Amino acid sequence: SNPSLLILAGDGIGPEVMTQVNRVIDWIGDKRGLAFDVSEDLVGGAAYDKHGTPLHDDTMAKAMEVDAVLLGAVGGPKYDALDFSVKPERGLLRLRKEMDLYANLRPAQCFDALADFSSLKRDVVAGLDIVIVRELTSGIYFGEPRGIIHEGNERVGINTQRYTESEIDRVARSAFELARRRGNKVCSMEKANVMESGILWREVVQKVHDEDYPDVELSHMYADAGAMQLCRWPKQFDVIVTDNLFGDLLSDAAAMLTGSLGMLPSASLGAPMANGRPKALYEPVHGSAPDIAGQGKANPIACILSFAMALRYSFDQGDEAVRIEKAVEKVLADGLRTADLIGEEGVEPVSTEQMGDAILAALDAS
């Protein structure tokens, strides 16, 4: 049977960019003979409007069964006043939690045509292609004890960084597996100089490497030095693996090496399923962009590249992923820009649909 894909377009620009992804999926089916069993469902505010919950149990069950989930974006001002328990982002959080997606892959890839759009010099970023693997389900955002307590006559805010060996082990494996499909190089970042969890992190990553991935080149770096190196010469890296907190910061910084939020895909992977594929959710990094929703201005590339990641990591179709990435590269080289990619005056932006048209034309020519 065909590989299965659950599409959750969500809110705001989510459905607008997903329309263009659907065209790419149809193209891959028609022209490359790679058909998917696609089902669509609601998430976020759209699900709340229909069911009174941001993720229906049936949708959750479907997500657990399919080979991959592709999500647009959730949220919007219409839902800001809702109770926390039914807020749109809770739908996304539930997916991540119940699918136990512990490895968050955030590529920082710089298309040559956009190198001048980066906040760094062209030399430093042109052709950049790295991935940050951020541990997503543990660490200081979840560790106990936590809270604000009274101590003497003042209050103390407490969070606890906590990592078990198995949590470090599994995310390290995700990073090594990923590196084998790319440049075969992993840099692990922590602060073993000042943190106990950092000492354990370094030890476990090294052990996983020595036992099962000796062919992959491994280095260790303190996360603060890593932040500096990421800005100084990011091309020295291939895969970076780090904890939840450092990964949050480093991946946002790395994102800005490459330009616009409208360009950034992501994947969140969990444990391998019975068929050997990891549980997986693919989504653009951006949100529902209420400021431009409904105006046909959204850049569909982040969501299209998220589908390309699904082809690569869930469906073993790396060649087709490259084909899509090359088509994106071609339209950018041809000078096509959605509004978010325009820095200087005098360039006329194209619409979401026109960008989709151009990418399909580039695919046709590939």
Give the gyration radius of the chain's Cα atoms: 21
Q: Which two tokens stand for residue 3?
A: 């590989």
Query: Between residue 48 and residue 87, which ones bind ligand NAI under the rule CB under 6 A?
Result: 73-76
Q: Which two tokens stand for residue 71?
A: 């999500």
Q: Which x/- pattern over 238-267 shows residues binding Mg ion (rule: CB under 5 A)?
A: ----------x---x---------------
Is the separation of the CB atoms in 225 and 252 below 8 Å?
no
Residue 252 annotated as catalytic: yes
Query: Between residue 220 and residue 279, which ones bind ligand NAI under the rule CB under 6 A?
Result: 261-262
Q: Quick check: helix, strand or coil at residue 192?
A: coil
CB of 175 to ligand NAI, least distance (A): 22
Nearer to Mg ion among residue 86 and residue 245 (C-beta) = 245
d(Cα 196, Cα 344) in Å, to the nearest integer?
A: 48
Residue 340 makes contact with Mg ion by CB under 5 A: no
Evaluate the CA torsion angle 252, 258, 261, 263 in order and state its sign: negative
Residue 210 annotated as catalytic: no
Is the separation of the CB atoms in 2 and 8 below 8 Å?
no
- The letter for the amino acid at 163 is Y
Of the candidates 254, 158, 237, 247, which has an alpha carbon nearest to the alpha carbon of residue 201?
Answer: 247
Binding partner of 75, given ligand NAI, Mg ion, none, CB within 5-8 angstroms per partner class: ligand NAI
Nearer to ligand NAI among residue 198 and residue 265 (C-beta) = 265
Q: Please tell me which residue in 67, 243, 248, 340 is annotated as part of the active site.
A: 248
Binding partner of 340, given Mg ion, ligand NAI, none, CB within 5-8 angstroms per partner class: ligand NAI
Binding partner of 248, given ligand NAI, Mg ion, none, CB within 5-8 angstroms per partner class: Mg ion
d(Cα 104, Cα 137) in Å, to the nearest integer?
A: 9
Residue 286 makes contact with ligand NAI by CB under 6 A: yes
- The interface region with ligand NAI, picked from 113-121, 151-159, 283-291, 358-366 by CB under 6 A, is 283-291
Helices 352-364, 14-32: inter-axial angle, 10-degree rounding = 10
Nearer to ligand NAI among residue 17 and residue 131 (C-beta) = 17
Q: Please tell me which residue in 48, 67, 102, 191 is annotated as part of the active site.
A: 191
Residue 224 annotated as catalytic: yes
Residue 99 makes contact with ligand NAI by CB under 6 A: no
Q: Please tell me which residue in 62, 100, 141, 207 is annotated as part of the active site.
A: 141
Q: Give, in degrees to the nearest 5, the angle at Cα 191 between 247 and 144.
A: 70
d(Cα 307, Cα 282) in Å, to the nearest integer?
A: 7
**Contacts (Cβ under 8 Å, ≥6 apart) of 328:** 111, 301, 304, 305, 359, 362
Residue 248 annotated as catalytic: yes
Residue 282 annotated as catalytic: no
Residues making contact with ligand NAI (CB under 6 A): 13, 17, 73-76, 89, 92, 261-262, 283, 286-292, 298-299, 302, 338, 340
**Catalytic (active-site) positions:** 141, 191, 224, 248, 252
